[in-house]
Each structure stands twice: as C-alpha cells, then as structure tokens.
Structure 1
Amino acid sequence: MQQDRLKNPHPWTYEIPLAVVLTLVLVAVLGVHGGRAVANLLAGGGWGWPAATQLFPSLPALMRGDAGAGLTDPGVVAGPEALTTWMSIASAVNLLGSLALGCVVYRRWGPNRLRGMASRAEAASLLGLPRLRRHRAVIRPDLHGKDPR
C-alpha cells in the first residue's frame, strides 16, 4: 500500500551504485592504512598516517608487507605478520560498519521506506475531530487508556 502511493518516474542509473562502490573502496583503503597505523603503534613506532597523495600509491607496498610505505618518517615499523593481521581486522571492522550504515540508510531512504505519518491537521481533516476524540483510547492508549494516571 505504501509503495503504490508515490511512483518515482526516474529510474536508478549508474550514479548511485558507482557512489556506493567508490565509497566502499575508500573505506577499504582507509581501513588498510588504519590497520597499518595500529600495527606500527603497537610495535612502538607511534601513530603514522600517510599524506593524502600517498593513500593509493602506497597500497601495493603495504600489501607486500612494508609497514613504512607512504610514511615520511616511518621509524620503528611492525613486522609483516602483525601488519597483515591489523590491516585485516581494521578493514573488516570498517566494511562491517559500512554495511550496517548502508542497511540503516537503505531502510530510511530506500525504495521500501515508509512514506510518512499524517500531521495533526491532516488527521483532523480526514477523520474529523469528533471521531478522533471518540476513539482516542485506541489511537493513543498510553495517554487515554482505561488505566487512569
């Protein structure tokens, strides 16, 4: 019933899926760099984040196990095993968070969303004020129920 009230004449084209894919790629890249930063921090090297221009070029070296790739002064860096572990954990947490956020966004603004509630004025004009008052215990049982408060 809710879906029949409003038809959207504009079909979905490539823009929305492309934005979703690019956002997920960016989240994955930031997860990899966040995992590297945590691995280096736990190895005693401090928190290190690459410059914005080094986010994507340093990815191949990071995947090979170089924890200092893209950093200006890496200092002490984590080993390849710790780097891989923390990159995997951070990427998984980021992608699961993105999935949860995507579900919330889809339910809120997606095609199957609830189209809304009537305002007070709309309900009064549609149902009439006497009918609303007669059935107030059904409409708002928390305020007008049988149990006096």
Structure 2
Amino acid sequence: MGALLLFVVGAHLGRGIANLLSAGWWEFPDRADLFISLPGLLEGDASAGLTATHPTVAPATVLWVCIAAVELVVLGLIVAGIRAGLRLWGPTRVQGVATRKEAERLLGRSRLRRHAAIVRPDLYGKGRRRA
C-alpha cells in the first residue's frame, strides 16, 4: 500500500513539475483528489483534480515524460529501500559479524603490534631477530 501511495504521489509530483516547466505554475491536488484525479491525469490532462483554473497547462507529452522520470526515481528509491532492508533483516544477512568500529577496537593495528609474538611467532617470536 505504501508503494502504491508513493507511485500516486509521484504521478502528481510529475504533473506539478511538468506544469512548472511548461506553464510556470505549480499546484498539488487536495488529499481527497489524489486517487480520483489519477485517471484523468494518466490520460494526459494536466489540470485534472486541481481546484484553480489556469489558462495554460503542460502538453501531454511533457506531462508523460515528467511523470515517467519521477516514477523512475520513486521506483529506484523503493528498490534501494527494499534492498537495504533485506541486507539488514533479510534471510541472507550476515549474523554475528562485528561492525567496522568494533573490529578496529578489538583487532586494530595497535593491538596486533602488541600481540605480534602470539599472532606470528615465526616472524616476531622471542628468539628471532629482525633482519
């Protein structure tokens, strides 16, 4: 339902951008007219569902291009949100892995240098000299 609402709002946002670019004015429909005016809007009527009457509106081709551009951005945002959510909470998430900050604190360079004889006894053991 949220994605459907985003696409409907995206269509009206595209109409607003088309009217702003073509005719120089911006208007967004009332909440009650969001779904009612959608068929007229998708038929190419750039003034469908608007309360004020304007002498010029965007042509249908400009309207559809602007709506398509906004809908592609909305689709990209939805896909990015779903992907981020699945990465955090999805079935293929990595469980039990430390964050970058935790790994630096636990396995950072200073700790590795302090414990070099334990980590690499062949290189930094007690009886070895560095060449």
Percent identity over paired residues: 37
**SS of aligned partner of 1:46:** coil
Residues 45, 74 of structure 1: 8 Å contact kept: no
> What RMSD over aligned residues (CA atoms) do the two structures have, in Å?
2.1
CA deviation vs aligned residue, 1:57-105 (integer Å, no higher than 9, x gap): 1011011100001111141310101001000110111011110111001
- Give the alignment partner of residue 144 of structure 1, picking from 88, 111, 125: 111
Residues 48, 74 of structure 1: 8 Å contact kept: no
Q: TM-score, normalised by structure 1?
A: 0.64
Q: Structure 1 residue 105 and structure 2 residue 85: aligned?
A: yes
Structure 2: distance between partners of 1:52 and 1:143: 59
**SS of aligned partner of 1:66:** coil
- Give the alignment partner of residue 88 of structure 1, picking from 65, 68, 71: 68
Shift of 1:34: 0.8
Structure 2: distance between partners of 1:102 and 1:60: 28
Structure 2: distance between partners of 1:54 and 1:86: 20
Partner residue, 1:58: 37
Unmatched 5+ stretches in structure 2: 99-105, 115-131
Structure 1 residues 83, 74: CA separation in 2 closer, same or farther (over 3 Å shift)? Answer: farther
Q: TM-score, normalised by structure 2?
A: 0.73
CA deviation vs aligned residue, 1:93-118 (integer Å, no higher than 9, x gap): 10111101110011112222233458
Structure 2: distance between partners of 1:36 and 1:143: 58
Structure 2: distance between partners of 1:109 and 1:117: 14
